[in-house]
């Protein structure tokens, strides 16, 4: 038989040059049980290098065939292999519809390397069902069902995950169970990727194209083999291995932000930004003349906002008898977005009858115009040496360029050198800022998996990660004028200019190794034991150099009037810059050494996974002080023992009951320890070396029901006791910026419940999840109306929710797909309730971000074999981000609706 096929093959190959290639085999692959189409299944002709992968509707087409006899094969993990012989003649189009049968193989020895195709939805339900811990898995198929272009948008459909977004951009960070990003880990292929952003520890999820992803795993409980610094959970983005068939997919779209229908984009000359400060160019003793500093980057002009352009492609194939797989993806986003913002500083009302309630001391209106260019290039190579050994190499390179204009009009209501008597009067400051930033992230990972014997497996990984951010010449111009009580105005005066060059870098080197042993214990039980460790050395540096330019006084000594930037005269006040004495020039490092032992015992219907992880941490910083200060150099050490126990009881074939306990931690970011200010958009953070790391005891209970493929129902509850959560507290407001510092306020109790349900009814799919979380922490606050006792303020304990903890989180999505017309549509709704954003120093008041509802609509229609039109509308409700102290609006940011239309090409 085999020989016969080889002959046919040979014949086909030889004859291919002369014979007509006109036959076609096409059809649809479905699940025999659910009748659901199976996308991503590879249909191939046995013994030939020819095949096709099914599209999102399960359709495939293999064309350009010569007449003859073929054996059609389909392999799809979780299903028995399908085989059928077919004979086609010239110009024939043969239709073969394939119904795949599920296989129920239970493997008891090491099976991790039999390639489990987890990228389909029902197998993701399976991996949820079979996972050791409490997870939610989003498969590539689920991502493909709806036109999510990146990991961030896809993630919103995972239970209890919401996204924290920044000012109208596509930037997004995961919030799990309403716990802010600091308590969660974002991993790429199981490894951390450093971020150059001083404030966020992780890269934005929006730069990872969803085409590259095999699946996204969200783990809400930790097993000992996972890194212990996640209290909310871990988001793991797992890249695809190269598929067996050649794979190419490309997206392109154009978009626009509706905010620019109402106003222009504020632009500045980006080429006028000097990449190097005077002392960087000419040495620390160089006396910078006024002429060194450029003017065009403080000349703000209005232009029509260009459209946002997004493009991405993914290409993959395998070589050398499928041993070497190669997949590359590039995601390019050039976005123009804006924010109209109100930012008001609040202080206690000290007026008679004011009762020290917060009142506004300043009112500022700010308009941001931002260009952000992201390019993410990801490559993944896997080499299967043999059935037992594979080696992988992945590289993620991200480049981000940001150019931002901030025009701010700030009126001081209380204090300062005011003179305000009512609305529309007083001294008005115009604070106009331009800055650009270049960020580079390079992350290289080499890993291997080896089956050493029938019972032993070994895997290892080495990682190099380097992230830098360079923000040259942040230029800030302040002008002021007075609006008199009769509403006449003085001219604009030139107040000050500051120019700041800053730079930072993070470098990580890590190594992981794990050894596993697995054996059967009788017919129905098995035992798996794993041990391993990790070492990571991270270093960080921060450089800052500031020059202050003061207006040259008129001959009579008076401040000069401002007409335009080109005719302004200034003197360089600190001629050699601040670099030699600025405490913002620091180095810091973090070393993590950890090891774990883990077992998984499977006895009949009960799975027990447990063990202990030990993590040792050393954090250090040095601000290289010029002025001697005890806080200028410090070291922190701590070792945590993190036990974990997870029980899974299989109630029936389709349902599980799970219970888990684990201990986990959260470490402060290095910049949060260094006692120097890190500048933010509207608030600056001064680090606190006394800050303790956070420790949490976590308890989870979940019932899972899997009635049918792709259908799921989960209900669960959790309780966490979080010792020393890190929360931000207000120290003061200065220069229109909030000055905050991270602090520990005690122990928080967090309890919650979640429900997840998803189901597909023919053409309509529904998926929804809801998480309710209660959190409470009590800390001492000042009671100003009580005055002082012995010169000290009177303190009183106040109960409040944990900072960054959202009470209600709901995600609902409605999917519609029409196989006949090859059209998809999805409406996604997200709700988050009131969240404490900043701790106010006085009793009874805190800053709360107000409830938000977001609605997004996306749709696509396949117009030809290769082309699909796509469209997306985000923020349909034009939801503002509002922060209030009781009824006082402290900040309100409006981003408006954004539109995107484009197409997708797939091979």
Partner 1 sequence: MKVKYNHIISTIALVTVSMVSCKKAEVTTFNKVKIPTSSPIQPGNIAGFVKGTLLTGQTYTVTGDITVKKGDTLSAQPGAIVVVKNNAQFNIQGVLNLLGSQDQPIFFNSDTNKPGTWGGFQADSAQAINIKWAHIDNTGGPDAGGSARRTIVVRGAIPVDIEDSWFTNGQDDLMGLFGAKVTILRNTISSSGSTDGEGINLKSGATGVVAYNVIFSQAGSGVKLETSTSVPFPQTEIEVYNNTIVAIGWRRGSAEPGRGTSVGVNAIGHIFNNIYVNCYHGIELFNDGDVTHTTYGNNLFYATVDTYTDLVDPTIKINIRDNFYPAGAAGSPRPTDLISTKIGNFDPLFVKFDGTVAAPNGFPNVNDFRLQNGSPAYGAGNTKYNQDLGAYTTDGKGNKH
Q: Which of residues 726-745 bind partner 1 (CB under 8 A)?
A: 732-733
The Cα diameter of the chain in Å comes to: 105
Among 114, 322, 629, 886, binds partner 1 (CB under 8 A): 629
Q: Least CB distance from residue 846 to partner 1, whole Å?
A: 15
The residues, ordered by sequence, that sit 6+ positions from 17 with a Cβ below 8 Å of its Cβ are: none
697 is a contact residue toward partner 1 (CB under 8 A)? no
The residue (of 378 and 619) whose beta carbon lies closer to partner 1 is 619
Please work out the total of residues on this chain that contact partner 1, with binding judged by CB under 8 A: 92
Q: Least CB distance from residue 848 to partner 1, whole Å?
A: 19
Query: Which range of residues in 4-12, 146-154, 332-340, 631-639 is near partner 1 by CB under 8 A?
Result: 631-639
The residue (of 242 and 729) whose beta carbon lies closer to partner 1 is 729
Q: Least CB distance from residue 490 to partner 1, whole Å?
A: 4
The residue (of 487 and 761) whose beta carbon lies closer to partner 1 is 487
Site for partner 1 in 332-361 (CB under 8 A): 347-348, 350-352, 356, 361
CB 704 within 8 A of CB 698: no
The residue (of 597 and 851) whose beta carbon lies closer to partner 1 is 597
Q: Least CB distance from residue 670 to partner 1, whole Å?
A: 14
**Taking the CB of residue 2, how many other CB atoms lie within 10 A of it?**
7
Among 89, 270, 453, 574, binds partner 1 (CB under 8 A): 574
The residue (of 112 and 606) whose beta carbon lies closer to partner 1 is 606
Among 136, 195, 427, 646, binds partner 1 (CB under 8 A): 427
Q: Where are the beta strands (DSSP E) in 413-486?
A: 426-451, 456-483
Q: Least CB distance from residue 361 to partner 1, whole Å?
A: 6
Q: Least CB distance from residue 422 to partner 1, whole Å?
A: 8
The residue (of 145 and 499) whose beta carbon lies closer to partner 1 is 499
814 is a contact residue toward partner 1 (CB under 8 A)? no
Q: Residue 694 corresponds to which tokens in the numbers above?
A: 């956070």
112 is a contact residue toward partner 1 (CB under 8 A)? no
The residue (of 103 and 581) whose beta carbon lies closer to partner 1 is 581
578 is a contact residue toward partner 1 (CB under 8 A)? yes
Query: Which range of residues in 42-50, 247-255, 363-371, 630-638 is near partner 1 by CB under 8 A?
Result: 630-638
The residue (of 68 and 668) whose beta carbon lies closer to partner 1 is 668
CB 639 within 8 A of CB 615: yes
The residue (of 389 and 561) whose beta carbon lies closer to partner 1 is 561
SS3 annotation, 465-485:
EEEEEEEEEEEEEEEEEEECC
415 is a contact residue toward partner 1 (CB under 8 A)? yes
Beta pairing class for 23-31 and 93-95: parallel
**Taking the CB of residue 18, how many other CB atoms lie within 10 A of it?**
7
CA distance readout (Å), 21 to 51, 68, 74: 15, 11, 23
261 is a contact residue toward partner 1 (CB under 8 A)? no
Among 95, 112, 421, 907, binds partner 1 (CB under 8 A): 421
505 is a contact residue toward partner 1 (CB under 8 A)? no
Site for partner 1 in 549-568 (CB under 8 A): 550-551, 553-561
Site string for partner 1, 524-553 (x = CB under 8 A): ---x------------------xxx-xx-x
Which SS3 state, helix, strand or coil, does residue 821 take? coil
Site for partner 1 in 827-866 (CB under 8 A): 841
Q: What is the CA radius of gyration of the chain?
A: 30
888, 849, 793: which is closest to 347 by C-alpha?
888
The residue (of 505 and 595) whose beta carbon lies closer to partner 1 is 595
Among 209, 338, 736, 784, binds partner 1 (CB under 8 A): 784
CB 642 within 8 A of CB 614: yes
In angstroms, the CA 208 to CA 235 distance is 13
The residue (of 492 and 819) whose beta carbon lies closer to partner 1 is 492
The residue (of 192 and 420) whose beta carbon lies closer to partner 1 is 420
The label of the residue with tokens 């020819």 reads 50
Query: Which range of residues in 448-456, 640-648, 705-713, 809-817 is near partner 1 by CB under 8 A?
Result: 640-648
Main-chain phi, psi angles of 205, to 5 degrees = -70, -15
Q: Least CB distance from residue 512 to partner 1, whole Å?
A: 19
**Taking the CB of residue 887, how many other CB atoms lie within 10 A of it?**
7
Site for partner 1 in 268-297 (CB under 8 A): none
Q: Where are the beta strands (DSSP E) in 802-887?
A: 808-818, 823-832, 835-838, 847-849, 852-862, 867-874, 881-885
In angstroms, the CA 536 to CA 592 distance is 5
Q: Least CB distance from residue 484 to partner 1, whole Å?
A: 8
Q: Least CB distance from residue 536 to partner 1, whole Å?
A: 18
812 is a contact residue toward partner 1 (CB under 8 A)? no
**CA angle (259, 263, 267) in 5-degree steps:** 100
692 is a contact residue toward partner 1 (CB under 8 A)? yes
Query: Which range of residues in 82-90, 414-422, 433-441, 796-804 is near partner 1 by CB under 8 A?
Result: 414-422
The residue (of 320 and 487) whose beta carbon lies closer to partner 1 is 487
5, 13, 7: which is closest to 83 by C-alpha?
5
Sign of the Cα torsion 518, 521, 526, 532 reads negative
Q: What DSSP line would sit under 96-165, residue for residue?
A: --EEEPB------S--TTS---TTSHHHHHHHHHH-SS-EEEEEHHHHHHTT--BHHHHHTTSTTEEEEE
421, 435, 429, 294: which is closest to 364 by C-alpha?
429
Query: Which range of residues in 11-19, 123-131, 161-169, 632-640 is near partner 1 by CB under 8 A?
Result: 632-640
208, 267, 574: which is closest to 398 by C-alpha?
208
The residues, ordered by sequence, that sit 6+ positions from 137 with a Cβ below 8 Å of its Cβ are: 118, 124, 125, 127, 128, 131, 215, 216, 217, 218
CB 602 within 8 A of CB 529: no
The residue (of 448 and 643) whose beta carbon lies closer to partner 1 is 643
Q: Least CB distance from residue 686 to partner 1, whole Å?
A: 14
The residue (of 160 and 428) whose beta carbon lies closer to partner 1 is 428
Query: Which range of residues in 232-240, 437-445, 571-579, 885-893 is near partner 1 by CB under 8 A?
Result: 571-579
Query: Which range of residues in 79-87, 419-427, 828-836, 893-901 is near partner 1 by CB under 8 A?
Result: 419-427
Q: How many helices (H) and strands (E) does the chain have?
A: 6, 51
Beta pairing class for 683-686 and 737-744: parallel
Among 522, 566, 761, 821, binds partner 1 (CB under 8 A): 522
Q: Least CB distance from residue 582 to partner 1, whole Å?
A: 6
In angstroms, the CA 13 to CA 19 distance is 10
Site for partner 1 in 33-92 (CB under 8 A): none
In angstroms, the CA 349 to CA 359 distance is 5
In angstroms, the CA 658 to CA 607 distance is 9
Site for partner 1 in 442-501 (CB under 8 A): 480-482, 484-486, 490-493, 498
Site for partner 1 in 139-178 (CB under 8 A): none
Query: Which range of residues in 3-11, 145-153, 572-580, 754-762 is near partner 1 by CB under 8 A?
Result: 572-580
């Amino acid at each position: 038989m085999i020989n016969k096929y080889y002959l046919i093959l040979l014949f086909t190959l030889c004859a291919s040059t002369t014979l007509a290639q006109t036959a076609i085999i096409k059809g649809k692959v479905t699940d025999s049980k659910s009748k659901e189409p199976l996308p991503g299944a590879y249909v191939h002709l046995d013994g030939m290098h020819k095949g096709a992968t099914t599209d999102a509707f399960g359709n495939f087409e293999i064309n350009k065939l010569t007449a003859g006899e073929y054996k059609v094969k389909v392999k799809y993990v979780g299903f028995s292999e399908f085989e059928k012989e077919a004979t086609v003649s010239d110009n024939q189009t043969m239709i073969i519809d394939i119904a795949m049968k599920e296989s129920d193989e239970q493997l008891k020895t090491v099976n991790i390397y039999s390639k489990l195709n987890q990228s389909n939805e029902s197998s993701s339900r399976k991996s949820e069902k079979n996972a050791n811990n409490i997870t939610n898995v989003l498969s590539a198929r689920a991502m493909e069902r709806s036109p999510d272009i990146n990991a961030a948008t896809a993630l919103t459909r995972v239970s209890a995950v919401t996204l924290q977004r920044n000012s109208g951009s596509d930037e997004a960070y995961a919030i799990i169970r309403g716990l802010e990003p600091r308590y969660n880990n974002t991993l790429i292929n199981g490894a951390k990727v450093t971020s150059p952003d001083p404030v966020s520890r992780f890269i934005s999820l929006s730069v990872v194209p969803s085409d590259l992803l095999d699946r996204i795993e969200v783990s809400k409980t930790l097993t000992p083999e996972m890194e212990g610094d996640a209290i909310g959970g871990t988001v793991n983005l797992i890249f695809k291995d190269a598929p067996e068939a050649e794979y190419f997919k490309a997206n392109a779209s154009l978009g626009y932000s509706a905010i620019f229908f109402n106003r222009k984009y504020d632009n500045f000359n980006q080429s006028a930004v000097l990449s190097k400060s005077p002392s960087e160019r000419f040495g620390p003793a160089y006396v910078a003349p006024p002429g060194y500093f450029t003017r065009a980057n403080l000349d703000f002009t209005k232009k029509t906002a260009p459209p946002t352009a997004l493009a991405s492609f993914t290409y993959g194939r395998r070589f050398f008898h499928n041993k070497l797989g190669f997949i590359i993806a590039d995601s390019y986003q050039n976005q123009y977005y804006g924010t109209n913002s109100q930012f008001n500083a609040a202080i206690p009302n000290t007026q008679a009858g004011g009762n020290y309630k917060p009142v506004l001391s300043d009112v500022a209106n700010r308009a941001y115009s931002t260009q952000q260019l992201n390019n993410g290039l990801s490559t993944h190579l896997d080499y299967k040496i043999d059935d037992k050994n594979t080696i992988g190499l992945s590289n993620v390179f991200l480049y981000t360029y940001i150019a931002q204009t901030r025009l701010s009009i700030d009126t001081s209501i209380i204090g300062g050198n005011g003179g305000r008597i009512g609305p529309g009067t007083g001294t008005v400051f115009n604070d106009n800022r331009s800055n650009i930033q270049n960020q580079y992230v390079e992350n290289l990972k080499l890993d291997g998996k080896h089956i050493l014997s029938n019972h032993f497996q070994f895997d290892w990984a080495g990682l190099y990660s380097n992230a830098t951010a360079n923000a040259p010449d942040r230029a800030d111009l302040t002008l002021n004028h007075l609006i008199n009580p009769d509403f006449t105005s003085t001219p604009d005066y030139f107040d000050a200019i500051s120019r700041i060059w800053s730079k930072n870098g993070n470098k990580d080197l890590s190594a992981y190794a794990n050894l596993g042993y697995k054996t059967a214990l009788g017919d129905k039980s098995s035992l798996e034991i794993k041990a391993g460790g990790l070492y990571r050395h991270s270093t960080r540096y921060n450089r800052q150099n500031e020059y202050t330019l003061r207006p040259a006084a008129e001959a009579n000594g008076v401040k000069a009037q401002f007409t335009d930037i080109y005719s302004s005269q200034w003197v360089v006040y600190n001629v050699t810059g601040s670099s030699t004495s600025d405490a913002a020039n620091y180095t810091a490092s973090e070393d993590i050494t950890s090891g774990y032992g883990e077992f998984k015992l499977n006895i009949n219907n009960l799975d027990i996974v447990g063990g202990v992880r030990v993590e040792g941490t050393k954090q250090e910083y040095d601000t290289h002080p010029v002025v001697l200060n005890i806080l200028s150099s410090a070291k922190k050490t701590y070792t945590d023992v993190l036990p974990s126990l997870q029980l899974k009881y299989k109630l029936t074939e389709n349902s599980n009951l799970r219970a888990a306990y684990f201990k986990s931690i959260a470490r402060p970011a290095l910049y949060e320890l260094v006692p120097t200010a890190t500048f933010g958009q509207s608030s600056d953070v001064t680090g606190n070396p006394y800050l303790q790391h956070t420790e949490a005891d976590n308890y989870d209970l979940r019932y899972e029901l899997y009635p049918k493929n792709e259908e799921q129902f989960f209900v669960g509850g959790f309780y966490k006791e979080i010792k020393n959560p890190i929360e931000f507290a207000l120290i003061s407001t200065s220069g229109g910026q909030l000055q905050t510092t991270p602090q520990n306020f005690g122990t928080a109790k967090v309890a919650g419940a979640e429900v997840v349900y998803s189901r597909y009814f023919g053409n309509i799919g529904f998926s929804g999840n809801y998480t309710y979380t209660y959190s409470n922490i009590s800390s001492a606050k000042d009671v100003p109306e009580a005055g002082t006792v012995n010169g000290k303020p009177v303190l009183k304990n106040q109960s409040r929710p944990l900072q960054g903890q959202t009470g209600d989180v709901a995600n609902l999505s409605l999917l519609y797909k029409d196989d006949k017309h090859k059209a998809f549509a999805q409406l996604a709704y997200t709700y988050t309730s009131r969240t404490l954003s900043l701790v106010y120093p006085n009793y009874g008041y805190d800053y709360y971000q107000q409830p938000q509802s977001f609605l997004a609509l996306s749709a696509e229609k396949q117009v030809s074999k290769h082309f699909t039109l796509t469209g997306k509308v985000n923020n349909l409700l034009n939801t503002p981000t509002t922060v209030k102290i009781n009824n006082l609006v402290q900040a309100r940011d409006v981003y408006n609706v954004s539109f995107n239309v484009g197409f997708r090409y797939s091979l």
